[in-house]
Structure 1
Amino acid sequence: MTDFLLVPVIDLLDGQVVRAVRGQREGYRPIESALCPGSSEPLAVARALREAAGADLLYVADLDAILGRAPQVALLARLLDGLPGLTLWLDAGFSDLPSARRVLAALGEAAPRVRPVFGTESLGSVDALAECFPGGEAAPALDGLLSLDRRGEAPMDPAGAWDEPGRWPRELIVMTLDRVGADAGPDLDTLYAVRERAPRARLFGAGGVRDAADLEAARAAGAAGWLVASALHDLKLKPRGR
């Protein structure tokens, strides 16, 4: 699966890496990882994940920001400084384009290594969606990704983005939150449904991967890659190395 991206994930809460389980954030606890036993320090965990996944890409969920607190800008800057050459896909609860621009501006010279992820859970309005992703031939204002978030059968979508495939950018994340950390298998049905509506987009799934067989099934279903955390921490995936 050399053309398939394994995207390691860290969830940051109160300055630590936590284990995400089914999107039930009130119950998240500091990570316990076989990759870096005894540490939930973000830079140490990120280095271990980067090594295990053989990736120069890291998905970061800033849960402080997603929960409505201040973004953890200093921590993000430390990650970028401590991991040269790394690109971050950053979900910091961006409700609109200005909120993403503020975080990128705060990161200064490292900002070009950060791609904002606009989650449908967080986008605040139809106008905000249109400003981020105008659709048609118009280029997005930022080189961001859209994360189509859902919990179970219900889209998490105050801006109505799930109903606007004409605005979807060239790269999409298909996030099934209740599968995250649940050892339940990837949600390929939703991936197929999004693929039918956006046949030219590159799709990255999130949630549920248990082992290499799940990754192969996701690739066969048309995914360009998958976001993974628990299966790496629990050594259920063979390290790819660097």
Structure 2
Amino acid sequence: MDIIPVIDVARGQVVRAVEGKRSAYRPIETPLAATPDPADVARGLRALHPFRKFYIADLDGIEGRGRNTHLVPALSQVLPRTEIWIDAGSGSRSAARAVLAAPVATLVVGSESLESVRDWHDIAAEAPARTVLSLDFRGGEFMGPDALLADSSLWPSRVIVMTLDRIGSDGGPNVELFERIAARASGRKVYAAGGIRDRDDLNRIKQAGAAGALVASILHAQKISAGDLKQIAGR
């Protein structure tokens, strides 16, 4: 099972996510790094465990303030031989192409950034093997074109179930929602994101069919040990 650390970046600094309320995000304070600089935080996370993938949320790109184009090149120096997933709010083929110009980048497309299924088709055609779809939910409501959620044949080989309002909360993952999506995924790898509090939650989503989980708070709060990470990754 893949455990994928999440690094949320706004205005050049790593921020702590709180229930998906991005206006409330503040620079992170973590025992893993002396500063909220993305490279420092990435080094601290990598010291915990040799994670194979990292997920980067470029919140400036997602919120329309302009993409942090230096992020992937800079982090690839700190995280060699690591697959870097990045969501920069790409809602068009040209925006997707700009992200994919970095050879180490895997493009994450959040459904909240898509206006239509046609936009998704255009983006996914650019580099299907390097594109992940994030099905975004807030308060139980899907954020994105309804047809994209309804027709699983549109989904790529890797899909994230992202419950935005549970990110950085103590609410726990929405296992029921995850199970519904995973049951329709037809052999695709499905990843859970939002609300994961501890190893018990990781076990629950694994039993629900998760190929992996995106996490942040449990790493910075040291609610999971290096030994746990090694054991989970080995299963």
Q: What's the TM-score once normalised by structure 2's chain length?
A: 0.91
* 1:130 partner amino acid: H
Separation in structure 1 between the aligned mates of residue 112 and residue 129 of structure 2, nearest angstrom: 19
* 2:180 partner amino acid: A
**2:142 aligned to which of 136, 139, 155:** 155
User: Is 1:132–1:142's contact at 8 Å kept on the other side of the alignment?
Assistant: no
Separation in structure 2 between the aligned mates of residue 160 and residue 92 of structure 1, nearest angstrom: 22
Separation in structure 2 between the aligned mates of residue 159 and residue 15 of structure 1, nearest angstrom: 33
Q: What's the TM-score once normalised by structure 1's chain length?
A: 0.89
Residues 1:64 and 2:55 are matched in the alignment: no
Separation in structure 2 between the aligned mates of residue 86 and residue 197 of structure 1, nearest angstrom: 29
**1:129 aligned to which of 120, 134, 149:** 120
Q: CA deviation at 1:160?
A: 3.7
Separation in structure 2 between the aligned mates of residue 132 and residue 142 of structure 1, nearest angstrom: 12
Separation in structure 1 between the aligned mates of residue 77 and residue 58 of structure 2, nearest angstrom: 17
Q: CA deviation at 1:35?
A: 1.7
SS for the counterpart of 2:136 is strand
What is the root-mean-square deviation of aligned Cα atoms in Å? 1.8
User: Is 1:22–1:178's contact at 8 Å kept on the other side of the alignment?
Assistant: yes
**1:47 aligned to which of 39, 43, 50:** 43
Match of 2:166 in 1: 179
* 2:135 partner amino acid: L
The answer for unaligned runs of 5 or more in structure 1 is 106-110
Residues 1:6 and 2:12 are matched in the alignment: no
SS for the counterpart of 2:7 is strand
Please identify runs of 4+ aligned residues in structure 1 that moved more than 6 A: none
Separation in structure 2 between the aligned mates of residue 70 and residue 21 of structure 1, nearest angstrom: 22
Match of 1:210 in 2: 197
**2:220 aligned to which of 204, 227, 233:** 233
* 1:17 partner amino acid: V
User: Is 2:99–2:105's contact at 8 Å kept on the other side of the alignment?
Assistant: no
The answer for unaligned runs of 5 or more in structure 2 is none
User: Is 1:5–1:225's contact at 8 Å kept on the other side of the alignment?
Assistant: yes
